[in-house]
Every structure is written in structure tokens, then in C-alpha cells.
């Protein structure tokens, strides 16, 4: 068995295994069924996720951009109500296990699982050879409760991480947030920028070292929590065409905040798209547009807070 230490507190738990990237409404729907089964069996409900993404080990060039960092994923999974989150370290040896070996070594011997809940597209084992039919047969033979959750959709098509990525790449943050069931978080360290925003009355925090998917170039509404206080955040992703800057930047104006954030990590929860990026003929025209943007952001942030 790959070198994986599973704590005794999770022995006998009901488990759901998956990437859970984004922890969207489809994931949460499945986790509710996991929690229900765990209550019936009087055992913990554990979400089992991976780090790194299995594709990053197998074929790094095809690794999809992540919607959540491991830390953010853990936070959202616990927020969904599971008792525990276990991160399965992905290694070449783990990915070489056949479906039967993965089941017997990880699910059966490792977790000593009392129950398993998965979605209809679940695959496991080398080359993803195992599917839900394989899982149900193995669970039945082992006397482990197994439930396959129905796919969750929004009335038109299945909710999936890939669909949410596609929406973010089209600047459709409002729709992505609906499918997620929570704001889309970007997190980075505040670096010193050109400080041009200060000169026009809208100072910005410049975010760098962001490890998740950025939405398409545009202006977005969000919020940021700093020392227990929530501030509306107007977020610009992309270059600054008005001043002829082509460098990719993530600039965050925090409405009502004054202080020094340099060197700190800032989490920004995106709520909706405001507009595409555009070049303005003068600084005064830009200021007028930003003023209107911030007013819209303030309104959206207030609505989200209720």
C-alpha cells in the first residue's frame, strides 16, 4: 500500500472521494447524502480529496487550472458539514493501483469504511478503469454501504468544475457563483504597484502569487474581510489600457478601507462581473467610470451580506 497514514478517528467513517475542486453545489448535494448515511450508521462523514491533482502527476501539461487551493477546499468542505477532510497524497504508486487494489488497500483496509457515497461520474484506479458499477460490486462483496448520488444540475445541464471554469473564462462570474453556491475566492499577497490609483482617489492593493484560475479580463464586484471587517471590493483583472500598460495585474480597491496591506495575504470573494476592461480618453473620464463602478460594487456587496 502507498505510504498513507489514516488516523484512527476516521476508521469506520463514511467517505466520499473526489477532487472537489470549487466545492460547488453538485459536490454539496452529494455531501449532504454522505452526511445522512453517516448519521444512520453513527459514524463520521469524511470528504477525501487529493493533493496534488492526479493529472498533475500523470500528465502535468494537461492539469486544469484550480478553482480552490487545498486550504480553501478544506474550509469549504467543512463548511458543507462533513466531520473531517482527509487529503490523500497523490503519488505514482497510488495511481498505479488497480481499481481492486485501490478499493482493498485504501477504502477497505485504510479507512475501514462503513459507507461510500460517490457521484455518477466517479472513476478510480489505474487509467480510471473503475467506475460506479465496479464500486458498487466491490462494496457489496465487502459488506460496505454504497450510495451513488444523482447528478446535480441547474435545470439546464450538470453542475461541474469544468463548466464553472468555462464561465469564469467568459467573465460570467455571476453565473459561476450561482453554480458554486458561494463567492469565488482569489487569494494573493499584496505587492507594491505603480500607486497610480492613489493619485486619482482610488488606491488599490495589487495582488500577486495567485494560484487559482483568474477570471477573464474585466472589472468585478467582491468583498474582502480584513481583521473582522468586510469591505466592498472593486477588482480589476488585466492590463490598464487607459495608461498604455500591457502588464497583467490584479488591482483591488477596498471601499472604505485605509491602511497598509503590503506583504499580507488578502482574500477577495468575487460576486459578479461589472464590465469589460476599456480605455478611456482622459483620467477624468476614468475617474467617473470608477466612481460608478464602486457605487455598483457597494450595492452588490450590501445585497450579498443579507
Beta bridge partner(s), residue 250: 237
3-state secondary structure of 3: coil
243-247, Cβ contacts within 8 angstroms, sequence gap of 24 or more: 243/196, 245/194
| Residue extents of the structural domains in the chain | 8-148, 183-304
Q: What does the alpha-carbon distance between residue 241 and residue 75 come to, in Å, rounded to a whole number?
A: 37
CATH of 8-148, one of 3.30.200.20, 2.60.120.10, 3.40.109.10, 3.40.50.620: 3.40.50.620
Question: For the segment 16-60, what is each residue's pLDDT rounded down to a tens digit?
Answer: 999 999 999 999 999 999 999 999 999 999 999 998 888 888 888
Q: What does the alpha-carbon distance between residue 22 and residue 53 come to, in Å, rounded to a whole number?
A: 13
Q: How many degrees, rounded to 5, is the angle at CA 214 between CA 51 and CA 25? A: 65
pLDDT of residue 199: 56
Of the pLDDT bands very low, low, confident and very high (cuts 50, 70, 90), residue 194 is low
Q: What does the alpha-carbon distance between residue 114 and residue 34 come to, in Å, rounded to a whole number?
A: 11
Judge whether residue 195 has pLDDT over 70.
no
Beta strand spans in 113-181 (E): 115-118, 145-148
Q: What does the alpha-carbon distance between residue 66 and residue 202 come to, in Å, rounded to a whole number?
A: 30
Query: Assign residue 158 a region: left if phi > 0, alpha if psi is -120 to 50, beta otherwise?
Result: beta
- Scanning the structure block, which residue is given the C-alpha cell 461510500? 116
Cα torsion through 52, 53, 59, 64, rounded to 10 = -120
Question: For the segment 85-109, what is each residue's pLDDT rounded down to a tens digit?
Answer: 999 999 989 999 999 999 999 999 9
Say if CB 53 and CB 91 are below 8 A apart.
no
CATH of 183-304, one of 2.40.30.30, 3.40.47.10, 2.102.10.10, 1.10.3720.10: 2.40.30.30
Amino acid at each position: 500500500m502507498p505510504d498513507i497514514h489514516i488516523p484512527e478517528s476516521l476508521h469506520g467513517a463514511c467517505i466520499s472521494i473526489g477532487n472537489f475542486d470549487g466545492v460547488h453545489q453538485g459536490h454539496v448535494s452529494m455531501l449532504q447524502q454522505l452526511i445522512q448515511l453517516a448519521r444512520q450508521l453513527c459514524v463520521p462523514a469524511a470528504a477525501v480529496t487529493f493533493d496534488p491533482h492526479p493529472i498533475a502527476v500523470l500528465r502535468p501539461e494537461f492539469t486544469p487550472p484550480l478553482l480552490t487551493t487545498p486550504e480553501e477546499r478544506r474550509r469549504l468542505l467543512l463548511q458543507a458539514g462533513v466531520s473531517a477532510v482527509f487529503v490523500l497524497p497523490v503519488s505514482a504508486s497510488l495511481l498505479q493501483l488497480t481499481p481492486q487494489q485501490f478499493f482493498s488497500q485504501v477504502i477497505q483496509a485504510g479507512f475501514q469504511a462503513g459507507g461510500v457515497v460517490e457521484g455518477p461520474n466517479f472513476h478510480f484506479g489505474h487509467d480510471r478503469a473503475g467506475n460506479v458499477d465496479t464500486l458498487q460490486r466491490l462494496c457489496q462483496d465487502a459488506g460496505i454501504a454504497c450510495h451513488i448520488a444523482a447528478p446535480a444540475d441547474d435545470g439546464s445541464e450538470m453542475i461541474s468544475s469544468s463548466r464553472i471554469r468555462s464561465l469564469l473564462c467568459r467573465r460570467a462570474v455571476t453565473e459561476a457563483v450561482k453554480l458554486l453556491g458561494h463567492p469565488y475566492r482569489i487569494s494573493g499577497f499584496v505587492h507594491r504597484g505603480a500607486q497610480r490609483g492613489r493619485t486619482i482617489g482610488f488606491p488599490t492593493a495589487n495582488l500577486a502569487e495567485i494560484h487559482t484560475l483568474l477570471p477573464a479580463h474585466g472589472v468585478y464586484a467582491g468583498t474582502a474581510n480584513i481583521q473582522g471587517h468586510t469591505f466592498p471590493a472593486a477588482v480589476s483583472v488585466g492590463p490598464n489600457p487607459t495608461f498604455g500598460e500591457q502588464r497583467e495585474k490584479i488591482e483591488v480597491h477596498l471601499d472604505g478601507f485605509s491602511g497598509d496591506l503590503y506583504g499580507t495575504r488578502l482574500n477577495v470573494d468575487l460576486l459578479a462581473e461589472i464590465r469589460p476592461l476599456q480605455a478611456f480618453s482622459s483620467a477624468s473620464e476614468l475617474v467617473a467610470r470608477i466612481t460608478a463602478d464602486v457605487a455598483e460594487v457597494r450595492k452588490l456587496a450590501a445585497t450579498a451580506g443579507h
